[in-house]
Structure 1
Amino acid sequence: MKTLIRNFSHTFRRFFTASVLNIVGLAIAFASFFVIMTQVDYDYNFNKGYKDYEKIFRVEVHVNDEYGWQVWLARPFCELVQSTSPHITSLSILTSYSSSFDYEVNGKLFNEKTLTGFGNFMETFQPEMINGTADALKQPGNILIPQTMAIRFFGTTDVVGQTIFQGKRADNNPVTVGGVYKDFPENSQIRNTIFKALAPNENKDNWSNWNYHCYIRIDNPEEAGNIEKATVQKLMEFFPDLMDENNVDCPIHLTPLTDVHFSTIGDKSASSRTTVYLLICVSFLIVIIATINFMNFSLAETPMRIRSINTQKVLGATTRSLRGSLIAESALISFISFLLSLVLLLALRDSGMQDLVASDLSFGSHPYLLTATFVLSLAMGLLAGLYPSWYVTSFPPALVLKGSFGLTPKGRKLRTGLVCIQFFVSFALIIAIGIMYTQSRYIRTTDYGYDKDAIVVGNMTDETRSQTDAVIAEVSRISGVEGASVSQFVLSSADSYMNWGRGADDKHLLFDVLPVDYRYLKLMGIRITEGRDFKPGDGDVYIFNEAARAKYQWLAVDQPATTNDYPVIGFCENVKYTSFRNDNNAQPMAFFIYGKDHQGWGGKNFINVRVSAGTDKVEVVRALQKAMEKFSPGHDFNFRFIDQVLDEAYRNELRFTKQILLFSLLAIVISIIGVFGLTMFESEYRRKEIGIRKIFGSTTGEILGMFNRRYLYILIGCFIFAAPFGWWIGAHWLEGFAEKTPIRAWIFLASFLLVSLITMLTVTIQSWRNANENPANSIKTE
């Protein structure tokens, strides 16, 4: 051990710059590996926190080609599925999304997500109960709450039988805690929310309300295919023409719960398995290129260590012991790098790095991953030391006198090959991030058909919904506010909204519906192309977009949309109301005002506020919060700009873009560290050659050109091979968008120029001293 520490200390002092670059490069690589793999772990193990998760399936249906595959089902359809096979041990019918409600607990008000379903709809997921039982949901007025919520509400989990109030206590809507369940893992389909049963007879035999999700638990997962076939046979008893109307072999599909996270059916923003595989590749590539640097430095040091190695041989050291010592030295450097990576992770924990991944970055949350990173660091240290240790101890003494391996053709080819891998990775990642950047910029800067930059959006509460006119009047008095309006949804915030089917046969309509108030279109700056805008007193009327008129050509102003439907009062230009994962110019939609036929339907979930140009929006948001608190004290109305809405809508894509951006930069940094080290040693090797060239008249510029020319050839060759791979990564990412920008040629040119410029600057700076040195000194030192 003393010998190891002495050798390491001597080497570190003698090759200080190289040693520091080695340790820093490896530390960055190991920290990057840990961060990326937390995201991989999050996605790969999604939905695996439920008991016997492999037995849980989601039911999907293909109604017809116009609707396509969907997860929204009617309650009788779900119950029909359960009746088809004795292998189905439980059925869960739950609402398609969780809603936020206020709850008053011991005088304090909390806003919590609430998921509803029929009966004990959690039976399929089998939560681990800490107190009470999940069957409590079968009793009217009972709820289940997660462990952390129980502690937040009451300070303890022993709360079965406690009463809380939905809304305020004065609303007299009490619910009873029937059980407390252990928190589900963060990467779970069903979040840690309040669970509450719906009325037992709600939509009992209603085949027209397709607003539920259906999950089943099967005693044998291999029976899934048989259940699909049995369900189709059962459905054909009700709908004899079912198979004739579908262009799919089986219009029912059971998706394993572990596949739901990656399914775009019902969620076009779902994670992609290919993305997970790419992240795994990136994480290992970063570690590999850092290890390559390590190996390159070790090989470059070979000529300077041969004399010491041979001296030790003369003094009696065996080749085996020398190689073991060198490998141990390499492992020690890697271990120090691992410790430094932990310091980096702790130092950057509160710097926004958490936003890069969906999972928690704390070490305690990933003990196995932390262990794996440690093992990887040792493995990379051993691998990086194996070949150099073998080679440095294999030279005959004569080679020490004649020259150095660093300048032999074999040595240079090996080092060049290792650098090529680094440049390949850098080019591929930069091209991919360039493609992602242009799409992200297209999403931000394209014309949405409404004044998105002037709009601030906030949430509504029960109190503000009940006095909308007073709320709008109050916020409109704020300086810089030009007006306000309420709506059921926020434009551009989702892939899909409420969808209505109207009419039959050749007058059948299928379109998205966005309920608003009469002020909405004018406030948002949406232009009417024919007919009129909404006005006070309107109710149960449509304004369709031009895409609807193009698809359903019978639509006309002042006429019912279809037989026995509501009238159309106008048409508006197409707006990008959903995400860019859809073709907004081809999707029929209608703005709608609820009237007497929709009493109690709500439609006032959000307030949209128009802010005049040049106004301090941050100050306006503060003023809006204060104004709304007059109607509903103590609430956070979560006012946000449309840009923040877009960030949330493209959360997965933006996160992946940031991940690739960061790790592309790291790959470049690590590659440049390698170039720096190689040019440092190569310029030292060639000092005599440089001196002779200068004596014969070579200028400093010509000598620098000699060094740079070699790297330019390497860069061109690596770029030719990396460009298709970078294009593939970017093109795959773009497949998630229906509206997308083309892949531009400038992205490839810019990536080549960026890496080349950084490389040439590094080579020039590192070679400058030797190129300007007095040739008498360089020849003398030889």
Structure 2
Amino acid sequence: MRNLNIAIRSLFKGGRHNMMKIVSLSVGLSVALVLIAKIYFEQSYDTFYPDADRTYQIYENYSQDGKESDYYNVSGAVAPGMLYEVPGVEAATRLTYIGGDESLFSTSDKERYSARFIMMADSNVFDLFPRPILSGNPKKILAKPWYAMISRSLAEKMGGIEKVEGLTIIPDNNPGTKVTIGGVFEDIPENANLRYDMLVSMTGMDKESLENWLGNDRYKGYVRLVPGVTAESLTPAIHDMALRHQNAEDMKRWGMELTYTLKPILDLHKKSGEVKSMVMMLAILALALLFTAVMNYILIAISSIVNRTKEIAVHKSYGASEGNIHNMMMSETLVHMVCSIVLAVFLIFLGRDMIHELLDVSVEGLLFSKGALILLAVCVVVFLVTGFVPGALFARIPVAAAFRNFRESRRVWKLGLLFLQFIAAGFLVTLLIIVGRQHMFMVNSNPGYSYDRLAYCSISAIDSTTRYKVLDELMRIPEVEAVTTSTILPFWDSLAGNNIALPESDKELFNIADQYWSGNGFLKLMEIPVIEGRSFTENIPKSDEVMVNRAFVEKMKEFTDWSDGPVGKSIYISEHANYDSKFYTICGVYENYRIGSLISQDDRPSVLFYRQRPLDYLLVKFHQITPDAVAKVNDKLEELIPDKDMKLSIYSVSMVEQYSSSRKFRDQVLIGGIITLLISMIGLIGYTNDEVNRRRKELAIRKVNGATLKDILTMFLTDILWLALPAIVLGCIITYYVAERWQEQFIEKIPLSLWMFVSGGLFVCLVVIVCIVYRTWNAANDDPVNSLKSE
């Protein structure tokens, strides 16, 4: 306690640089702790569910012509079928999304709200994924068609838990349906694979879809196993179940095999490739920041030995042992550590909005969880390291230092710590350049179609008559060049798949990305070239024409000889045989263009159909896209559809948002790089300051003997640069291997050219030179008499 009192009283004592140590450590800790908490958060998905270790998601596993794939959705009958036919399955349930990331709906009194992730669910969903129920009986509510349970946050947004029960709502994307709210459940935590604000009874779905064993695989199926039963032990029973409900002749004719596997829900998130890559990069970034902050603290502490040598020697003269000195230094470090943690927490909550934007999780979700214990352990390790090393060095100061002019520089220690900081700075700055370049490359890459003057919005909530009127009225606006509609938008990264067959054979050949239907002039509006044949015959009520891309034609060469070209050939496309025609005729071939993004690209061959009736998505191409032009279209939409909140989204903005994860990581590296550089600058300036003070008389003698300002600056620069250059080069080498691993997640990537590493290294060198010149300039210009007159 006595040592703690001394440490607190000496907190603002001059010559110890305590504030510098506390501030630099707290800044490094604040960012590093947030990143470590994010890493824990990503590894903790679904751990809050009881029996999560016995809960599995059902995946389809299918093979066609020797090529195996798996899919995270299944047909409607699969999950309940496992419960009844596979011994060892204790419970099963199904869910399916019926809304996008944000779905709009209206109440009977015309109030409008939005909900994230609306799903349809079985009545037993809370048996497998329990949440506290705040009102209503979910088993009864979810057993009645078009009844729903909603989350607490959505209920509060709509007026409160007690007011929403019995309220009727109308979803925008299904205007003919009325949904009655029957109860409220507690919000789903942020670290859940399944996130939803509303669960609608699945009994309202088509019975055939719910009981189907093949096709329409839109359902997420989950099972909970009996304690002691493993997923691997159920493989034979699951395979037998699949065979019982498949037509063996059809499967053989199609050249397909289909079965199911069970994947633990605890592994679904943390073992995905994207998450593993993110965790690796965040861990490296957090380690670099934490390492730099700790090394800088130790550097500043060691630098103060010059000023505290006699103080420590006097303590020893009065009987203090090395253990006493070590305890005294640990007490100082403890006080500094507590102050740093308090300041770090303050900085974290001060930047909570930015943290939420960059990491997609709230500060509360990061800090107020079991992960807090890991953060506490990290702080303990930092305390032990930052206290032990300086304490050991101070404890070795000899008693004789109290009686003679003893000045211990510990220069080797300080240079070693600076070397490590330069490695971290070179690593992060170079990594920032690479990450920034990769992000810009993806944002500016050509997807194969034109979108710079394009905007879109969903019109699924309005009827066909109003859709026709919208198209006609928008074309009258002078700023609008063209208007069309489509079923999907090309930047979507998860399209439905259907299978291709030839008329003379029932064997299904391969799976395609189905873009479904487009309206008049779709390819022309998107500026997608037709490389063979022609575009659709338009303005006809029914069309049996299909267009395919270049990749489709290349893929078809594996199965048939179309030496005279694909145009005019008939093909069978599963699911579409139930629409206008059993066979479709290829009228043209369009150039390949990207479906999805460079992070998640659908590289299957694609097909496109035509429909005269306006489809769900409105596409508006402007002569020149300006705020005024967009506002005119939005005003017209509001005039034509006053009861719906329809606004255009800018297509180019959505394209950039595809790479938000890359942008956020770039920003994380930017913040980490800036903080690392600042901490390294503090350490470098502190080291240079100590060297100037220690060598002040030497500098004076050199100047008396004719040394110029340039000579003095060159001496200090040479002293540091011989250390900084190899450290920065080593940092760049580490960056190369880390960046190469990080780029594995991208389909197209920039080459890791030498100039990126040279640029990053030169920038760090420039910062080092500026710091040294800044601190030595005054000393080099000082009158040597001032330094020598004390002799």
Alignment TM-score, normalising by the size of structure 1: 0.88
Kindly report which structure 2 residues correspond to 1:180-579, keeping only aligned pairs within 5 A, or say none. 180-196=184-200, 197=202, 198-199=204-205, 201-203=207-209, 204-205=211-212, 207-220=214-227, 222-236=229-243, 238=246, 252-262=260-270, 264=272, 271-314=274-317, 320-350=323-353, 352-362=354-364, 366=368, 373=375, 376-377=378-379, 380-399=382-401, 401-406=404-409, 411-463=410-462, 466-494=465-493, 496-503=494-501, 508-514=509-515, 515-538=517-540, 539-553=543-557, 554=562, 556-562=566-572, 564-579=582-597
Distance 1:134 1:760 in 2: 68
Displacement after TM superposition at 1:63 (Å): 0.8
Residue identity matched to 1:93:
R
Residue identity matched to 1:304:
N
The answer as to 2:655 corresponding to 1:646 is yes
Q: 1:289 to 1:244 in 2, by over 3 A?
A: farther
SS of the equivalent of 2:94 reads strand
Residue identity matched to 1:74:
S
CA contact (8 A) 2:442 2:659 kept: no
Which residue of structure 2 lines up, in the alignment, with residue 42 of structure 1? 41
CA contact (8 A) 2:637 2:647 kept: no
Distance 2:380 2:212 in 1: 63
Residue identity matched to 1:542:
V
Residue identity matched to 1:766:
R
SS of the equivalent of 2:352 reads coil
CA contact (8 A) 2:175 2:462 kept: no
Displacement after TM superposition at 1:487 (Å): 1.8
CA contact (8 A) 1:333 1:381 kept: no
Distance 2:719 2:277 in 1: 36
CA contact (8 A) 1:49 1:184 kept: no
Which residue of structure 1 lines up, in the alignment, with residue 15 of structure 2? 15
Residue identity matched to 1:651:
S
Residue identity matched to 2:588:
G
Which residue of structure 1 lines up, in the alignment, with residue 721 of structure 2? 712
CA contact (8 A) 1:34 1:369 kept: no
Which residue of structure 2 lines up, in the alignment, with residue 607 of structure 1? 618
CA contact (8 A) 1:261 1:271 kept: no
Query: Which has the larger displacement, 65-74 or 352-361?
Result: 65-74
Q: 1:118 to 1:313 in 2, by over 3 A?
A: closer
Q: 1:143 to 1:772 in 2, by over 3 A?
A: same
The superposition leaves residues 359-378 of structure 1 with CA deviations (integer Å, 9 ceiling, x where unpaired) of 10248962665676566546
Displacement after TM superposition at 1:220 (Å): 2.7
Residue identity matched to 1:260:
L
CA contact (8 A) 1:436 1:733 kept: no
Q: 1:393 to 1:364 in 2, by over 3 A?
A: closer
Which residue of structure 2 lines up, in the alignment, with residue 26 of structure 1? 25
Q: 1:651 to 1:216 in 2, by over 3 A?
A: farther
Q: 2:147 aligns with which of 142, 145, 161?
A: 142
Distance 1:156 1:304 in 2: 65
Kindly report which structure 2 residues correspond to 1:613-692, keeping only aligned pairs within 5 A, or say none. 613=624, 615-616=625-626, 618-633=627-642, 635-637=644-646, 639-692=648-701
SS of the equivalent of 1:63 reads strand
CA contact (8 A) 2:568 2:586 kept: yes
SS of the equivalent of 1:255 reads strand
The superposition leaves residues 475-495 of structure 1 with CA deviations (integer Å, 9 ceiling, x where unpaired) of 33445332222222222232x
Query: Which has the larger displacement, 41-50 or 551-560?
Result: 551-560
Q: 1:226 to 1:587 in 2, by over 3 A?
A: same
Distance 1:244 1:665 in 2: 61
- Where do 5+ consecutive residues of structure 2 fail to align? 574-581
Distance 1:301 1:628 in 2: 70
Distance 2:15 2:614 in 1: 70
Distance 2:256 2:781 in 1: 74
CA contact (8 A) 1:39 1:358 kept: no
CA contact (8 A) 1:582 1:739 kept: no
Query: Which has the larger displacement, 519-528 or 320-329?
Result: 320-329
The answer as to 2:751 corresponding to 1:742 is yes
CA contact (8 A) 2:499 2:508 kept: no
Which residue of structure 1 lines up, in the alignment, with residue 182 of structure 2? 178
Residue identity matched to 1:33:
A
Distance 2:522 2:260 in 1: 40
Distance 1:82 1:308 in 2: 76
Distance 1:656 1:733 in 2: 11
Q: 1:5 to 1:124 in 2, by over 3 A?
A: closer
Paired residue total: 760
Distance 2:123 2:399 in 1: 84
The answer as to 2:92 corresponding to 1:91 is yes
SS of the equivalent of 2:745 reads coil
Displacement after TM superposition at 1:672 (Å): 1.8
Distance 2:478 2:228 in 1: 62
Q: 1:463 to 1:623 in 2, by over 3 A?
A: same
The superposition leaves residues 408-439 of structure 1 with CA deviations (integer Å, 9 ceiling, x where unpaired) of xxx22222222222222222233333332222
Distance 1:248 1:685 in 2: 80
Which residue of structure 1 lines up, in the alignment, with residue 579 of structure 2? none
Alignment TM-score, normalising by the size of structure 2: 0.87
Distance 1:417 1:243 in 2: 68
Displacement after TM superposition at 1:762 (Å): 0.9
Which residue of structure 2 lines up, in the alignment, with residue 727 of structure 1? 736
Q: 1:3 to 1:125 in 2, by over 3 A?
A: closer
Distance 2:131 2:195 in 1: 11
The answer as to 2:122 corresponding to 1:114 is no
Displacement after TM superposition at 1:118 (Å): 4.9
SS of the equivalent of 1:210 reads coil
CA contact (8 A) 2:254 2:509 kept: no
Residue identity matched to 1:258:
L
- Where do 5+ consecutive residues of structure 1 fail to align? 265-269, 596-601
Displacement after TM superposition at 1:157 (Å): 4.2
Distance 2:112 2:60 in 1: 40
Q: 1:373 to 1:247 in 2, by over 3 A?
A: farther
Q: 1:121 to 1:333 in 2, by over 3 A?
A: closer
Distance 2:789 2:249 in 1: 95
